């Protein structure tokens, strides 16, 4: 994979998360997760761009480490969202079936 291909993939990933956040409910939890996942999912593309202008090999490694940490944070946030929506949907369907 070339540098440009990786950058494009990170940009596409960030854009897809932004599109996903449009569907979030506007409540305390939704707003919190919206901000958190937007920041953590867009950060890798931005930090990767910075890493391309690193002042040293050590600086490059550090910036790429930040990219990885932000991607991991995004993954955990996606798992939280998935679990919350799955549980909410299951509870909604259970109460609907009781009616």
* CATH for 55: 1.20.1440.60
Residue 12: pLDDT over 70: yes
Torsion of CA 38, 66, 73, 15, to 10 degrees: 30
Split into its structural domains, the chain has a count of 1
Higher pLDDT, 25 or 7: 7
Confidence of residue 43 (pLDDT cuts 50, 70, 90): very high
- pLDDT of 85 reads 79
- Please state, in angstroms and rounded to a whole number, the distance separating the CA atoms of residues 90 and 87: 5
Residue range of the domain that includes 94: 3-98
């Amino acid at each position: 994979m070339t540098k440009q291909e990786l950058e494009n993939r990170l940009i596409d990933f960030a854009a897809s998360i932004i599109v996903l956040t449009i569907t979030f409910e506007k409540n305390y939890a939704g707003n919190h997760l919206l901000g958190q996942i937007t920041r953590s999912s867009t950060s890798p593309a931005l930090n990767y761009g910075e890493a391309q202008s690193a002042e040293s090999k050590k600086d490059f490694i550090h910036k790429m480490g930040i990219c990885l940490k932000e991607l991991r944070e995004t993954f955990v946030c996606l798992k939280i969202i998935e679990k919350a929506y799955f549980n909410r949907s299951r509870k909604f369907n259970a109460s609907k079936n009781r009616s």
